[in-house]
Structure 1
Amino acid sequence: MKKGQLWAGILSPLISLGGIGVAIMINRPWWRLTDNAISDLGKVGLPYSWVMNVPLFISAILAIYYAAGLFGEVKNTVFRLGIALFMIGLAFLAGVALFPEGTEPHYHVSWGFFLAGSVGYLIAGAGLWLEGMRKFGAFTTLLFTAEVLLARWAFNTFSGVAIAEFIGIFAMIIWHYSLMGTLLKAGFLGTRD
């Protein structure tokens, strides 16, 4: 993996979370975690919608670049299938920024991000389990199960979907950084210029 790809993987989640955080601060007079969606912060016609949408787009591009580097590091077919699906989820994340709330495709790209991203990391984790990384495979399964159960609870508890969305986002981020650490420790992520 190129050093730039590794750095892209490190920075990508921080960029997207930073954009969301600043957008929340700007819109705090009306935006509520329990009553809104994250996408409300980037909707069409909202002043400063770019504060969230631009970082989401940049984050998605960086994450795709990083994920593309994973293909050369782990040869397991199941892992690669999961990473390919995860990358499709990241393309949908770019779509969330390009088609903000208030546009026709927004609902579909938003759901595409959460579904493809989550199922993608589950499949990739199964691939690593098959590769002999049993603890990481079990961790992935537990994380996915917790994500689904907690998101379902949040959907049924709050009027807005932001908490359920954050549960999905943080599950993917936790998995991403855990994967990075696991692969570095196992010597899979060799870096080159």
Structure 2
Amino acid sequence: MLQGSYPLSSLPCGSVPVTYSPYGPKQSPRGPVTDAENGTGGRTTEPGHDPEGIDHQIRARPGGNRPPNPGTPPGGIDHPRRTGPEGEPPIPGGEFLHVRSGDPTTVSATPDGPESPRRPDPGRIPDPLDRALTWSGAAAVVVSFVAIVASTLLAPWFSWTGNALSELGAPGEPYAWLFNWGLILGGLLGSVFVCRVALESDSVVGWAGSALLLAATGSLAAVGAFPVGDPRHGPAAVAFFVFLTYGLVADGSARVLAGRPRTGLLVVWLGMANATAWLLWALVAAAGDAPGVAIPEFVGALAMAGWVYPATQRVRRSAAED
């Protein structure tokens, strides 16, 4: 089987090489080859004699002295014309034809000889970095929930129905640093993950969803950076839940429009669950008995965590396809 590269000048025009031996003369199985078959200008090549060190077994063009072998394209292959990959125009330039091993009729040309290895796409994220970005969402969920749950367990005064989660990070609390830094790190990791997910978006709705979710994760980090008592804490907390609701609805809608209705509807309903929790809290508060906001806050955190799983799976599938 031919494997390697040969100058065009060594290939006889109007014929397709089937077997070349780069190791020296080989016995031709069919006897002398005449000038009508190999275009040697009257010379006859005897069996076992190969003055060029190459065993020529030639497929003749249709209409020649020999019928074409099976698989020979009509008219043979015009060797001086550099041929490109199947379905593509000829490759300009280059001085070599490269015949792929295993298929003597498949010929391709490269300017520098044999086909070079596939070069990596300069715009593609390196695999180790891509894996880190892919799992940053799961890391954000773990860090945030560990900080929240651990803080509630370490604060015996905390009540799910009478307090807000933000009170766990109030100045003066012995474990305020755990709660606040958990939200800061969780928000930063979540922002990194949202940016990675945004690379998979292919519609305006998807990009809008990613932008809103990025604003939500940034607001989450701000909640930890500006604890209760800081005038910026309230706006940051409200921004997190508002951006989260609209971001989930937009991201889920983009999935539905892209032909993924199951995960799309799931994400949309996560956003609606967050909004519903706050609506129910408002109705109870309007009745005259204002409860703490810890429960709707925790529902929002669960909605964010629920979005991370399908988003991670989507990024992993995309990486596997690449």
TM-score above 0.5: yes
Q: Distance in 2 between matches of 1:145 and 1:92?
A: 19
Please list every run of 5 or more consecutive structure 2 residues that lacks an aligned counterpart in the other structure: 1-124, 285-289
Paired residue secondary structure (1:188): helix
Contact 2:251 2:268 in 1 (8 A): no
Q: Report which structure shows greater RCO (CA 8 Å, sep ≥6).
A: 1
Mapped partners of 1:117, 1:149: distance in 2: 13
Specify the alignment match of 1:142 in structure 2: 269
Query: How far did residue 156 of structure 1 move?
Result: 3.7
CA contact (8 A) 1:64 1:90 kept: yes
Aligned AA (1:85): L
Judging by fraction of residues, say which structure has more helix.
1
C-alpha spacing 1:168/1:116, structure 2 compared with 1 (3 Å)? same
CA distance in 1, matches of 2:235, 2:199: 31
- 2 CA distance for matches of 1:169 and 1:176? 11
Q: 1:60 aligns with which of 170, 180, 187?
A: 187
Structure 1 residue runs of 5 or longer lacking an equivalent are none
Residue identity matched to 1:165: E
> What letter corresponds to residue 83 of structure 1 in structure 2?
S
Q: Which residue of 2 aligns with 1:95?
A: 222
The change in CA–CA distance for 1:190 and 1:53 in structure 2 (over 3 A counts) is: farther
- Aligned pair partner of 1:5 in 118, 122, 133: 133
Q: Which residue of 2 aligns with 1:42?
A: 169
Aligned position for 2:255: 128
Query: CA separation in 1, counterparts of 2:150 and 2:231?
Result: 26
Please say if 1:110 is aligned against 2:240: no
Within 5 A, what are the aligned runs for 1:165-176? 165-176=297-308
Q: TM-score, normalised by structure 2?
A: 0.55
The reply on whether 1:15 has 2:147 as its aligned counterpart is: no
Overall identity of the aligned pairs, in %:
26
Correspondence list, 1:67-86, <5 A: 67-86=194-213
Cα deviation for residue 10 of structure 1 reads 1.4
Number of paired residues? 189
RMSD: 2.0
Shift of 1:179: 2.8
- The structure 1 segments of at least 4 consecutive aligned residues displaced by more than 6 Å after TM superposition are none
- The amino acid that maps onto 2:307 is W
Q: Which has the higher strand share?
A: 2
**CA positional deviation for 1:3:** 0.8
TM-score when scaled to structure 1?
0.90
Q: Deviations over 1:60-86 (max 9, x none)?
A: 111111111112223222111111110
**Structure 1 CA distance for aligned equivalents of residues 232 and 188 of structure 2:** 19
Tell me the SS of whatever aligns to 2:214: helix
Kindly provide the CA deviation profile for residues 125-160 of structure 1, in whole angstroms up to 9, marking residues without a partner as x. 111111111222222232322332233223444610
Structure of greater Rg:
2
Compare 69-78 and 166-175 and name the one that shifted more: 69-78
For 1:129 and 1:136, how far apart are their aligned partners in 2? Answer: 8
Match of 1:161 among 281, 288, 293: 293
Counterpart of 1:152 in structure 2 is 279
Distance in 2 (alpha carbons) for counterparts of 1:41 and 1:17: 13
Question: Residue 152 of structure 1 contacts residue 164 of structure 1 at CA under 8 Å; is this kept in 2?
Answer: no
